Amino acid sequence: MFDKSIEVTTINILRRTKTRIAVFTSAAIAIAALSLFTSNAEDVTLRGAGLFNHEHAYSRTLLKLADLVSKQASQNITFDLRGNSELGVEPDYVNFLTQGVAIDYAIIAPSNLTRFVPSLTLIGMPFLFRDLTHWNTVLSSDLLKPLEAELLAKADLIIIGYTGGGTRNLISNKKITNIDELKGHKIRVMAAPIQKRIFQTISTRPSAIDYSEIYYSIKSGVVDGLENESASLQQYKFFEVAPHITLTEHSITVRLLVMSGKSFRKLPTDLQNIIMKAGKEAGAYGRKLESSEDSARLAFMQKAGEIEIHNFTGREQFLELAIPVQDAYAKELGAEELLQSIRAL
């Protein structure tokens, strides 16, 4: 259908024209004008996927990415973000992204990418970061460039940014305040060997069950709890089956803002550059967002009577036990230099 302004122009020309030749000429002009208008830039649609609703920090990070890119791009871009696990869970996203089907971008836990790049395990290791400042400094640096290059080469996935920021604690169906009370504790951990090894040092019984099965696994007694940050605790209502929060503060969450290489290469160069820049900015936005919201969420749930918060007296002991496990695992991966670089930063 013609643009309204073109229709008006065409009608005016017709009123002034008395011959069929003039009619055909004006129609041709209108068609050419419409063609020029619609072919100025090709429309682009990029689909994202996430586990959470649009209020979660990860979803808001992806929405920030969309906003940043849309403001700078010359093309008309549609970002179609499907949340609430509509398109599955993170291992599904990884399969989609590596194949270049169904989705184009997502936020992924490093543990779900270690089958391609085992050294990614390091950035999710408990007690790796001294504090939020150290964590943010590492993620803002170029220290992880070798891991990015390896992931691109082996899985055709592009890391365009780093987000996260939730401090991970123990979420349990019973009160825990020290290491002795953790003996025999059945805990769900992320699917990375280092997670299991470190929690085994304090005599827990870790298992890497699927994220979607956590709630009912706690409810049925398969596990006694998990380790996670407050946003996930609230979103998935884990507090209904595990209301006790033990402040181990053993890890600060790192998440990768990832795009399919196959999808990325289909885009024009100018848009690729915009996405890479926006990915870094969106990641920084997400890190600030989640880290600032973390303690507030815990306080809100505590005030609502949904959780009980307990201090943990064995944190220093836990840290001492974890360091040699970190060292041994880094040696296995051939990533000793990377570990030392992160510690020294």
- For the chain, percent of residues with pLDDT exceeding 90: 81
* Per CATH, domain 44-344 is 3.40.1030.10: no
- The answer, yes or no, to whether residue 184 has pLDDT greater than 90, is yes
DSSP label at 130?
S
Question: pLDDT at position 191, please?
Answer: 81
* Mean pLDDT along residues 144-164: 97
- Asked if pLDDT for residue 260 goes beyond 60, the answer is yes
201-248 pLDDT, tens digit each: 999 999 999 988 999 999 999 999 999 999 889 989 999 999 999 999
What band does 23 get if pLDDT is binned at 50, 70 and 90? very low
Cα-based distances in Å from 286 to 118, 218, 279:
25, 30, 10
Check pLDDT > 50 for residue 98: yes
Query: Mean pLDDT across the chain, nearest whole number?
Result: 88
Residue 41 pLDDT grade (very low, low, confident, very high; cuts 50, 70, 90) = low
Domain ranges across the chain: 4-38, 44-344
Closest by Cα among 239, 232, 271 to 255 = 232
Whether the model pTM is above 0.85: no
- What pLDDT is stored for residue 36 in this prediction? 32
Question: Using CA atoms, how far apart are residues 293 and 153, in angstroms rounded to an integer?
Answer: 35
Q: Are 286 and 231 in contact (CB under 8 A)?
A: no
Is the pLDDT at 53 greater than 60? The verdict is yes
For residue 190, name the pLDDT band (cuts at 50, 70, 90): confident
Q: Where are the beta strands (DSSP E) in the chain?
A: 44-49, 77-82, 105-108, 157-172, 186-188, 205-207, 225-228, 244-260, 308-311
pLDDT of residue 14: 35
pLDDT at 18: 39
